[in-house]
């Protein structure tokens, strides 16, 4: 039985291979995905707890934690070795994001995160758009 949607690993690997064969895209992915995840987890720290557990050091089982579990699990389902490393990095982002959010408080955290989060999303989008435009011009010259 074929898998569909989120768990269609062949489709994900084909897309990943096609998209990440360009060294610029690989570099952008390595450089900007983790800050985007980190800033998302800082904002999600301020969501209410879903499970009331007394964890040390201001760690809260909220939407940020469950997002991290799902994200890490998805990476592990794609590849056990590399996915385990990525899952570990996801949990590090959650822990350090929780610490930062706790120390900054919401009134300051959203300002810092919006500025850094937007810049980490806009820069890769601009570079990717430039690459796509260059490919289209190159394709027009060929045809």
Which pTM does this prediction carry? 0.72
Asked whether the predicted pLDDT for residue 1 surpasses 50, the reply is no
State mean pLDDT over 89-116.
Answer: 92
Beta carbons within 8 Å of 128's beta carbon, 6+ residues apart: 25, 28
User: According to the model, what pLDDT value does residue 45 have?
Assistant: 94
The span from the CA of 84 to the CA of 137, in Å, is 40
Asked whether the predicted pLDDT for residue 57 surpasses 80, the reply is no
State mean pLDDT over 50-64.
Answer: 83
Choice among 45-54, 74-83, 105-114, 127-136 with the minimum mean pLDDT: 127-136
The span from the CA of 59 to the CA of 29, in Å, is 28
The span from the CA of 70 to the CA of 68, in Å, is 5
Choice among 71-75, 87-91, 118-122 with the minimum mean pLDDT: 118-122
Average confidence score pLDDT of the chain: 82
Dig out the tokens for 85 from the structure. Answer: 């490393």
More confident residue, 142 or 18: 142
Asked whether the predicted pLDDT for residue 104 surpasses 70, the reply is yes
């Amino acid at each position: 039985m074929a898998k569909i949607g989120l768990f269609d690993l062949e489709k994900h690997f084909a897309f990943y291979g096609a998209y990440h064969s360009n060294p610029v895209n690989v570099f952008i992915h390595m450089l900007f995905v983790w800050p985007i995840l980190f800033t998302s987890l800082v904002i999600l720290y301020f969501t209410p707890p879903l499970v009331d557990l007394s964890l040390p050091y201001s760690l809260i089982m909220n939407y940020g934690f469950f997002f991290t579990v799902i994200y890490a699990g998805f990476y592990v389902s794609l590849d056990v070795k590399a996915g385990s490393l990525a899952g570990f990095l996801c949990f590090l982002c959650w822990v350090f994001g929780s610490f930062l959010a706790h120390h900054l408080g919401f009134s300051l955290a959203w300002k810092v995160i919006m500025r850094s989060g937007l810049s980490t999303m806009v820069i890769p989008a601009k570079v990717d758009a430039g690459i796509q435009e260059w490919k289209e011009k190159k394709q027009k010259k060929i045809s």
